[in-house]
Amino acid sequence: MSEAKLRVDALVLTIDDVLVDASHSYREIVRQTVQLYLEYAIGLPGSDEYLLTIEEVNRLQKIGNFTDYWELATAFILYFVEMLPPVGIPTFPSKVHVPAIIAYLQTAGGGRLQTTIDDLRDRKNIPEMAARVAEAGGGIEAAYKALPSDNHHLVVDVGEITRTHLVGRIFQEIYLGTDLFEQIYEQPPVTVQTTGYIDKESLLIDRDTLTGISKKIPLALISNRPRIEVNYILQAQNIATYFQAIVSLDDVREAGGKPIPDPWPLLEAVQRIYPTPVHSAFIGTTPGDMEAARAANKIEPFTTIACLAGAHDKETLRQEFEKQKANIILGHPNNLRDLILD
């Protein structure tokens, strides 16, 4: 398809690395979550140096086909706890809440693990890990399938973050910060007392480009983030009026749908604008995004647009997008100006 001839009735965008720059927020929080989980919850001796680099977080996200950042953090934690010697399973707490979960994990580790964060850093091989997860199909289910299972019980990643989802709890406390976390979840943070990273996110796409496109075709936004976060970002950047439809993680769960890489969010977003099928385009940043658009295209016309802006290894991601048969590959979301506007 020629870029100059793209004619669609609606454009669907994803938030991370298209609408906003996630490199200094979500990916940074992933590596902090992994570090805090291993040091604070498991009880490994700490380090002044991060266990993961932003580039490694980016690699697993893109190559390992992760669209959910909680699951991305979980996969890293799973990888590192399986590098520990086998840990016995203590009695699970009868009163299930976050402090009890942390006490359970600290009992399991008990300070007896002869491994440090520095040891794990020296032994890690994230490119090899990402390749294994990708070969197993990508995403958190593939991570559980591809990685050893001796210490799975040390990864607490299910349920509500107010009670049991410790990975999500740490992530949200870091991302939202002390005040906003308590405001949203009506509980004080347990693991951190800081200002949030949510206010560090910046608009990635040029505002003039967004304005021009929105005047020509309707725009929809999809995200695996909770609704309250999506609304907060749109209001903080003063861009809420650009979008005629928004589908968040809450919308997916409330409707009984499935998140990306399932096509449900894309089809739902367009249907909220046009009740009958039209030709739409979707710009995403992961192979899972492309998979979702291809699946949606089997139901109604969808052009798949891949964006490389958030990738450190752009050539490797380009190859993945080519394997996924993306119709168009852009270096930056601002290239939508030449693609759509005359």
Q: Summarize pLDDT for 258-267 with one digit per residue, the tens.
A: 999 999 999 9
Within this chain, do residues 33 and 140 fall inside the same structural domain, yes or no?
Answer: yes
End of a domain among 169, 198, 227? 198
Do 46 and 143 lie in one domain? The reply is yes
- Per-residue confidence at 342, pLDDT binned at 50, 70, 90? low
pTM (predicted TM-score): 0.81
Q: Which residues contact 244 (CB under 8 A, 6 or more apart)?
A: 218, 219, 220, 272, 273
Residue 207 shares a structural domain with residue 309:
yes
Q: Is the dihedral of CA 192, 86, 60, 124 positive or negative?
A: positive
Same domain? 88 vs 228: no
Same domain for 172 and 37: yes
Domain end call among 137, 164, 198: 198
Angle, helices 54-63 vs 69-81, to 10°: value is 110
Number of domains in the chain: 2
Q: pLDDT digit string (tens) for 297-332? A: 999 999 999 999 988 889 988 998 999 899 999 999
For residue 1, pLDDT beyond 60: no
Is the same domain home to 295 and 330? yes
pLDDT at 3 (0 to 100): 44
Residue 4 pLDDT more than 50?
A: no
For residues 177 and 40, membership in a common domain is answered with: yes
Same domain, yes or no: 130 and 187: yes
> What is the structure's pLDDT at 100?
84
Half-sphere exposure of 240 (CA within 13 A, CB side): 11
The pLDDT, as a whole number, for residue 15 is 94
What is the C-alpha separation between 266 and 282, in angstroms, rounded?
8
Q: Can you tell me the distance from the alpha carbon of 63 to that of 56, in angstroms, rounded to the nearest whole number?
A: 10
Q: Are residues 128 and 255 in the same domain?
A: no
Name all contacts of 55-58 with Cβ < 8 Å and 24+ positions apart: 55/312, 55/313, 56/31, 56/124, 56/126, 57/27, 57/30, 57/31, 58/23, 58/27, 58/310, 58/311, 58/312, 58/313
Cα–Cα dist 165/97, whole Å: 9
CA distance 89 to 91: 7
Whole-angstrom CA distances from 311 to 53, 100, 137, 270, 291 are: 13, 38, 20, 27, 18
- End position of a domain, from candidates 170, 198, 226: 198
Contact 324, 294 (CB under 8 A): yes
Q: Which residues constitute the domain of residue 330? A: 3-21+202-340
Mean pLDDT confidence for 199-206: 92
The per-residue pLDDT for range 132-158, each reduced to its tens digit, is: 999 999 999 999 999 988 898 899 998
CA–CA distance, 204 with 206 (Å, rounded to integer): 6
Between 293 and 4, the more confident residue is 293
CATH at 220: 3.40.50.1000
Q: Is the peptide bond before 261 cis (omega within 30 degrees of 0)?
A: yes
Which residue has better confidence, 192 or 335?
A: 335
On whether the CB atoms of residues 290 and 284 are closer than 8 A, the answer is: yes
Shared domain for 238 and 332, answered yes or no, is yes
Same domain, 208 and 293: yes
Q: Count CB-CB contacts under 10 A for residue 92.
A: 11
Whether residue 160 is found in the same domain as residue 230: no
Q: Is 53 exposed, middle or buried (0-12, 13-18, 19+ CB in 10 A)?
A: middle
